Amino acid sequence: MWGRFVTRRLIQLIPVLLGVSFIVFFTMHLTPGDPIEHMLGQAGHVTQEQIEELRGHYGLDRPLVVQYGLFVGNAARGDFGLSYSHHGRAVASVVRERLPATLELTLFAFVMALVFAIPAGVIASLRPQGVFDRGATIGALLGISMPGFWLGIVLMIVFGLQRNWLPISGRIDLAVVPPARTGLYTLDALLSGNGAAFWSALKHMVLPGLAMAAPMAAMVMRMVRSSMIGVLAQDYVQFARAKGLPERTVVGKHALRNALIPTVNIVALQTGLLLSGNMIIETVFQYPGLGKLAVDAIGAADYPLVQAVVLIYAVSYVLLNVGADALHAVLDPRVRVA
């Protein structure tokens, strides 16, 4: 039953993805500025012939519509063309190299956000307007009102520079890089039994992870809180209490499970926004992932690379939302009918 629901949602994705690729491609190509000239900017004297040759090499001599068609066709097969910077390497291989770093950091931030947000939301909901609730509400408000790049810098100053507790740049201490298997340093370190590498990788993620997680934690906390307050007032919760079940069971089992259903959507949405924050935070902390790659590529006018990374972020964002819908359908049968 919900298999069909997911299939339908995936089919609905196709026009959305085409639209996304269309927007990405044409914003990059309809703007003034010739990438070839940019590329040759520092190269000194070049002949018109060499320019034309490069243009042919990168496929820039064909009509725009043809270029778009090729772009979509190739992208679907995972081929994003050649990077203008990175010594003309294939975009896909540059991206593959950086993807694990971003994946690891994003997962870390995701877990961190939920680890803070869910308990805080539950505790706040138990005594609305209580001391904890007020504190958490103010904290959440600060979390959504703070620019992520600024929070990153403040964390860096306080915990990295004034007290030398945590590293403020990079992914890992280069002396302890574990042998590559998955590309996720923490996992690779565990697989090779290298404790020092594990701690180093983990410590490098704490500050950027916190800065990335803050707005998501704030939004999820608010959602869990209000959802819990609603659920706790329901008859079946009152009934569970009246039956004499311990409060822990009532809150943890009867109430929380139901309260989390509406939270799934906001978690997915916020995870998508986590990806946007990722670009900025990686830049702040010089974290060698996709986000920093994209920002550097913008500086170098490396459009194929920018296109690829933006498309990857957009596709992940879309898939996250479909995933959330599917999960929502599993958790709440009423959704499937719609």
Partner 1 sequence: MSQAASEEEALESVAATTPGMVRLLLGNRVAVVAGVVVLAFLAMGLLAPALAPYEPSEQHAEAIRVAPFWQAGGGTRFLLGTDGLGRDLLSRIMYGARVSILLGVVVVLLTLVVGAGLGMVAGYFGGWFDAVMSRVVDTLLAFPFLIFALAIMAATGPNLVALVLALAFKGWVDFYRVARGDVLAAREADYVTAARGLGASTPHILMSEILPNILPPLIVLATLRMATIIIAEASLSFLGIGVPPRIPAWGTMVADGRADVASAWWIATLPGIAILLLVLAVNLFGEGLRDALDPRMRK
Distance from C-alpha of 247 to C-alpha of 278, rounded to nearest angstrom: 39
Residue 240's H or E segment, with its range, is helix 235-242
The length of the chain is 338
Range list of β-strands (E), the chain: none
3-state SS, residue 147: coil
How far apart are CB 293 and partner 1 at their closest, in Å? 13
For position 161 contacting partner 1 by CB under 8 A, the verdict is yes
Q: Quick one: which of 100, 121, 148, 288 contacts partner 1 (CB under 8 A)?
A: 148
List the one residue from 298, 327, 330, 331 that touches partner 1 (CB under 8 A): 298
Tell whether the torsion through CA atoms of 187, 192, 196 and 200 is positive or negative: negative
Q: Is 146 in the site for partner 1 (CB under 8 A)?
A: yes
Q: Which is closer to partner 1, CB of 13 or CB of 187?
A: 13
- Structure token pair of residue 266: 């906001």
- Choose which of 5, 24, 260, 293 interacts with partner 1 (CB under 8 A): 24
Name which position in 85, 169, 182, 283 contacts partner 1 (CB under 8 A): 283
Q: Does 145 bind partner 1 (CB under 8 A)?
A: yes
Which of residues 116 and 313 has its CB atom nearest to partner 1 in the complex? Answer: 313
Q: Which is nearer to partner 1, 186 or 227 (CB)?
A: 227
For 190, other C-beta atoms within 10 Å of its C-beta total 16
CB 122 within 8 A of CB 224: yes
d(CA 330, CA 243): 29
Dig out the tokens for 61 from the structure: 């001599």
Please choose, from the candidates 307, 270, 280, 304, the residue with its C-alpha nearest in 3D space to the C-alpha of residue 102: 280
**Could you tell me which residues are beta bridge partners of residue 82?**
90
Q: Which of residues 253-272 bind partner 1 (CB under 8 A)?
A: 272
Rg (alpha carbons) of the chain, rounded to whole number: 24
User: Helix, strand or coil for residue 124?
Assistant: helix
Q: Tell me: does residue 35 bind partner 1 (CB under 8 A).
A: no
Which has the closest alpha carbon to 39: 288, 310, 304? 304
**Is 156 one of the binding residues for partner 1 (CB under 8 A)?**
yes
Closer CB to partner 1, 67 or 182, in the complex: 67
Give the residue, chosen from 120, 303, 304, 308, that forms a contact with partner 1 under the rule CB under 8 A.
303
Q: Does 165 bind partner 1 (CB under 8 A)?
A: no
The single residue listed with the structure tokens 């939301």 is 121
Task: State yes or no: residue 221 binds partner 1 (CB under 8 A).
Answer: no
By CB under 8 A, is residue 16 in contact with partner 1? yes
CB of 234 to partner 1, least distance (A): 13
Judged by CB under 8 A, the number of residues near partner 1 is: 49
Contact in structure between 60 and 34 (CB atoms under 8 Å):
no
Pair of tokens at residue 205: 């993620």
Stretch that binds partner 1, among 85-93, 104-112, 189-197, 278-286 (CB under 8 A): 278-286
Residues near partner 1 (CB under 8 A): 12, 15-17, 19-20, 23-24, 27-28, 30-31, 33, 141-142, 144-150, 153-154, 156-157, 161, 226, 272-273, 275-277, 279-280, 283-284, 294-295, 298-299, 303, 306, 310, 313-314, 317-318, 321
